[in-house]
Structures are given as structure tokens and as C-alpha cells.
Amino acid sequence: MRKCYGQYNNIRTVLGYGSREMSVVHLCKVYCLPAFMYGCESLHLQYKEQNRISVAWNNCFRSIFNCYWRESVKPLLYFCKVLPINYLIHERKLLFWNKLLTSDNYVLFSLSRLVSQRFVAIGCPYGLSSTPVSRQTIKQAVWDTFTSTVE
């Protein structure tokens, strides 16, 4: 969390406050998001931890666009073509597990069979009940599910 806030503050200091919003969003996606998402494919994040990361990510967007802290950032995320943290975590897990399921390595393939039920459990809300599927199909299914929730 500290690393991400430090990177965010560096970005805002260099670019300034109140202008170049899309540049700040792009730099946050490139520099801050990996700090949040590091290792999320292999970890089981508790709700409290996931919520903490989500609040920090949303606060970055509120700060970039000068929004009130009670306002929803879903429309901002939608128009910036960025997924919320919980969708990003699910997308990355699905992509990781799908890669394991299509691996030529026997050890990785054997391990993937252990998590195939988790793939179906996480993929079901996105309409992904079968494995394996293409990378683009996973990304599109997660994005479509998110866009259906935007008000």
C-alpha cells in the first residue's frame, strides 16, 4: 500500500494537480496497479484486504478527478476503461488458471486440474463455466459483467 501511495504521489507531483487526468490515469495503471496486484493470482485475499486495496484504488481516481469521497467511481472507471479491483483480481486469477490449464508442462497441467473447480467457481458469474477459453474471451466477459453494473 505504501509503495502504491508513494508512486501515486510522485506521479501527481511531477504532472501537477488538476490537469492531465488521462495521463495520470495511464501512469497509475502502469506504475500503481502492479503494486496492488502483485501476486494476487496465487493468493487468497480476505475481504478486508481486498476492500483496503479497492478503497485505495478508488481514492486515487477520486483524487485525479476531484470527486467527493462519497461518490461512486464506477462511472469514472468505465469511461477510463479500467476495471475495479475485485474484477481485476478475478480476471487475473482466471487468466492465470487458464494459462495453467493450457500448459504443455505436465506438472503445471496436473496442478491446474486441482484448481479447475476454482476456475469454474470464479468464472461462473462471468459466464465462463468451461475451461479452457481464450484470453480475449475472459477479458471481454469480465468487462461486460462490469459494464452491466455501471449506473
What is the pLDDT tens value at each position of the chain, 151 positions in all?
Answer: 778 888 888 888 888 777 788 988 998 899 888 888 888 887 788 889 889 989 999 988 898 888 888 888 999 999 999 999 999 999 999 998 888 888 888 888 787 777 777 788 888 999 988 777 899 999 999 999 999 999 6
Distance CA 128, CA 63 (A): 35
Cis peptide before 132 (omega within 30 of 0): yes
Cβ neighbors of 139 (< 8 A, separation 6 or more) are: 91, 95
> Where in the sequence is the domain holding 138, given as residue range(s)?
88-147
Which of 81, 74, 65, 83 has the alpha carbon at shortest distance from 151?
Answer: 74
Please give the Cα distance from 85 to 9 (Å, whole number): 20
User: Do 70 and 121 fall within a single domain?
Assistant: no
pTM of the shown model: 0.86
30 touches 22 (CB < 8 A): no
C-alpha cell at 56: 485505495
Q: Which of 66, 82, 98 finishes a domain?
A: 82
Question: Do 111 and 95 fall within a single domain?
Answer: yes
